[in-house]
Amino acid sequence: MELIPVIKNILLLDKDGRRVAVKYYTDEWPTVSDQKEFETAVMAEVRKDNPQVLDAEEERQKPLHAGTDQMLLLGNNLVAYNSSKDLYFFVTGGEDENEELLSFMLQGVYEALLDLSGTYGIREGLDKKWVLQNFVAVFMCLDGFVDRGLILETEGEVILDG
């Protein structure tokens, strides 16, 4: 077990599991091919555990809410995830990582991007189009949360105010 919490990656994937914005912080997936294989495996687990999440249109339209994050164990990785509109958000840590910490990271990233997009409080929430149109801002936001796997901040408000 690590003494210092480490985030292995933050992923924003579309409803079909394709990359929208991804950030890897460890060498566990050294090539793009390895990374895409992990992303495919994560989406397969989400589909297996929650088929309604990917099949029901009303589920895709719901914004993230605190406490609704889900966890899955994939190999030696613990993954916190949730969805909003046509995006899936994932934060990955080691299998011994604190679930609450991963959940806080996930919520912080989502809330910061919501604030950044100006859609905070709007039912539809973030969408793939906005993330792609604001790619640089999205990555600057992600960089405010994690640096080389080390958590710098978990609150979106602090990132945007800094």
What CATH number corresponds to the domain at position 47?
Answer: 3.30.450.60
* 105 is a domain residue: yes
Q: Which residue segment(s) compose the domain that 57 sits in?
A: 7-161
Q: What's the token pair of residue 115? A: 């604030």
Query: CB neighbours of 111 closer than 8 A, spacing ≥ 6?
Result: 120, 155, 156, 157
111-148 residue pLDDT tens = 899 888 886 555 556 889 989 999 999 999 999 999 99
Give me the amino acid identity at 32.
V
CB 149 within 8 A of CB 7: yes
Query: CB neighbours of 38 closer than 8 A, spacing ≥ 6?
Result: 9, 29, 74
Q: First CA to last CA across the chain, in angstroms?
A: 31
Q: What is the pLDDT of residue 32?
A: 98
The region of weakest confidence among 41-55, 78-92, 143-157 is 41-55
* 2 is a domain residue: no
Over its C-alpha atoms, the chain yields an Rg (Å, rounded) of 14
Q: What is the pLDDT of residue 54?
A: 47
Q: What is the pLDDT of residue 66?
A: 44
* 129 is a domain residue: yes
Q: What is the pLDDT of residue 116?
A: 87
Please provide the average confidence, as pLDDT, over all residues in the chain.
86
* 69 is a domain residue: yes
What average pLDDT does this structure show over 151-162? 83
The residue among 75 and 48 whose pLDDT is bigger is: 75
Confidence bin at 34 (pLDDT 50/70/90): very high
Q: What is the pLDDT of residue 124?
A: 55
* 1 is a domain residue: no
Model pTM score: 0.86
Q: Distance (Å, rounded) from C-alpha 34 to C-alpha 133? A: 26
What average pLDDT does this structure show over 11-35? 97
| 80: β partners | 71, 91
Query: Nearest 10 degrees: CA dihedral of 35, 56, 45, 28?
Result: 20
| Cβ atoms < 10 Å from Cβ of 96 | 10
* 38 is a domain residue: yes
* 48 is a domain residue: yes
* 154 is a domain residue: yes
Q: Distance (Å, rounded) from C-alpha 91 to C-alpha 113? A: 14
The residue among 60 and 23 whose pLDDT is bigger is: 23
Quick check: 29 pLDDT over 70? yes
Quick check: 80 pLDDT over 80? yes
Q: How many domains does the chain have?
A: 1
Confidence bin at 48 (pLDDT 50/70/90): confident
